[in-house]
């Protein structure tokens, strides 16, 4: 093979990754799978798309070796093929944030509509979380918490938060996190907590961002609400 042909062939293979991820739906699926493995049905429900459409997009990602699938009975469970895939998604998102002004504009516009633009130092929140100075709650669905969560976090899915307010101490600030900076569950949780008289903040870091810093994550069951984080 001539050098020029060899180089072109390599670029063609690299382009498979770009082609597979050149879809908002497939990027959203990678984002969700960064939280943990799940079935096609669960992914379809969480993205608001049909099972058939979701399965098609997953097959595209699978052909590019970005995800893997395992069948158990009638259900197929997908997961990221390698931790590098999660790192790639975070790098791609970071590149978009740094190079495309539209990302920042749309984010600011949405947060303004939510009344959520008060100055919050995310680095300071992270420091307080790591020091155990706040009550940290994970408002993602339970299965995502079990798959991986930030150490010290209590699992309080957003759907259960209103019923479990009595379990949360008011002596400490509450920090809520979900799936990262573009996840609205954390915003919804903070809105509810503040209406009920809690001092609450949203942390932009989710599990993938936490792990990308080289910090430890935990798996399995949660601690009891009201205990020390």
Domain boundaries, the chain: 3-85, 117-229
183-202, pLDDT tens digit by residue?
999 999 999 999 999 999 99
For 29, the token pair is 């699926």
Question: Quick count: other Cβ atoms within 10 Å of Cβ 158?
Answer: 19
Out of 153, 178, 200, 207, the active site residue is: 178
Active site residue 178: yes
| CA 7/CA 43 separation, integer angstroms | 37
117-229 belongs to CATH 3.40.250.10: yes
Per-residue pLDDT tens listing for the chain (229 residues): 777 788 999 999 999 999 999 999 999 999 999 999 999 999 999 999 999 999 999 999 999 999 999 998 889 999 999 999 999 999 999 999 999 999 999 988 888 888 765 656 778 888 888 888 999 999 999 999 999 999 999 999 999 999 999 999 888 999 999 999 999 999 999 999 999 999 999 999 999 999 999 999 999 875 544 443 3
Distance between CA atoms of 225 and 223, rounded to whole angstroms?
A: 6
Same CATH topology for 3-85 and 117-229? Answer: no
Residue 177: what are its φ and ψ, rounded to 5°?
Answer: -135, 160
Give bridge partners of residue 175 from the DSSP assignment: 136, 201
Q: Which CATH architecture has domain 3-85?
A: Orthogonal Bundle (1.10)
């Amino acid at each position: 093979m001539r050098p020029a042909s060899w180089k072109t062939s390599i670029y063609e293979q690299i382009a498979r990754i770009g082609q597979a991820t050149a879809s908002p739906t497939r990027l959203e699926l990678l984002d969700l799978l960064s939280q943990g493995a799940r079935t096609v049905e669960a992914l379809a429900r969480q993205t608001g798309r049909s099972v058939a459409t979701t399965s098609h997009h997953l097959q595209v990602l699978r052909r590019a070796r970005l995800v893997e699938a395992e069948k158990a009975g009638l259900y197929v469970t997908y997961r990221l093929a390698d931790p590098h895939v999660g790192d790639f998604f975070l790098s791609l998102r970071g590149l978009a944030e740094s190079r495309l002004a539209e990302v920042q504009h749309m984010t600011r516009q949405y947060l303004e509509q939510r009344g959520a633009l008060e100055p919050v130092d995310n680095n300071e929140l992270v420091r307080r979380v790591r020091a155990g100075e706040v009550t940290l709650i994970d408002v993602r669905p339970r299965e995502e918490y079990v798959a991986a969560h930030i150490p010290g976090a209590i699992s309080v899915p957003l759907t259960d938060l209103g019923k479990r307010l009595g379990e949360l101490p008011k002596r400490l600030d509450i920090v809520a996190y979900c799936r990262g900076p573009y996840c609205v569950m954390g915003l919804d949780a903070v809105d509810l907590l503040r209406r009920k008289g809690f001092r609450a903040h949203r942390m932009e870091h989710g599990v993938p961002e936490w792990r990308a810093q080289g910090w430890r994550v935990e798996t399995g069951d949660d601690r009891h609400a009201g205990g020390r984080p």
